Amino acid sequence: MQRPFIHPSIADVRLENVLYALADPARLAIVRTLANGGCPMNCSTAAPAQLPKSTQSHHYQVLREAGLITSERRGTEVVNVLRRSDIDQRFPGLLTAVLSSSS
């Protein structure tokens, strides 16, 4: 049996963890894809495809534990969703500023 995903409540989400999670090009790419609705069917494929599956899973885990995404198993896939309204409420303007910044 697989372990359930654990998501922090929004009150427990810490700015440092969010910034750390976003401070990686692959994770930032995932967040951009999720924010842009780049995976309408599901978001198990938002990570850069050239990355090994284990690396992709690690990046999703960091994002999940930071409070940036939720993950849900559906059959053999994992559907990831950006917690946009949660993060916007907790850290107003942060995601918008990050996502509109071209690096």
Q: Report yes or no: 27 and 103 within 8 Å, Cβ to Cβ.
A: no
Residue with tokens 């559906």: 74
DSSP 33: H
Decide whether 20 or 73 has the Cβ nearer to a second copy: 20
Q: Which of residues 4-43 bind a second copy (CB under 8 A)?
A: 14-17, 19-20, 22-25, 28
Query: Binding residue for a second copy (CB under 8 A) from 54, 76, 85, 103?
Result: 103
Q: Does 96 bind a second copy (CB under 8 A)?
A: yes
DSSP 67: T
- CA-to-CA distance for 78 and 16, rounded, in angstroms? 26
Give me the residues that bind a second copy (CB under 8 A), please: 14-17, 19-20, 22-25, 28, 90-94, 96-98, 100-103
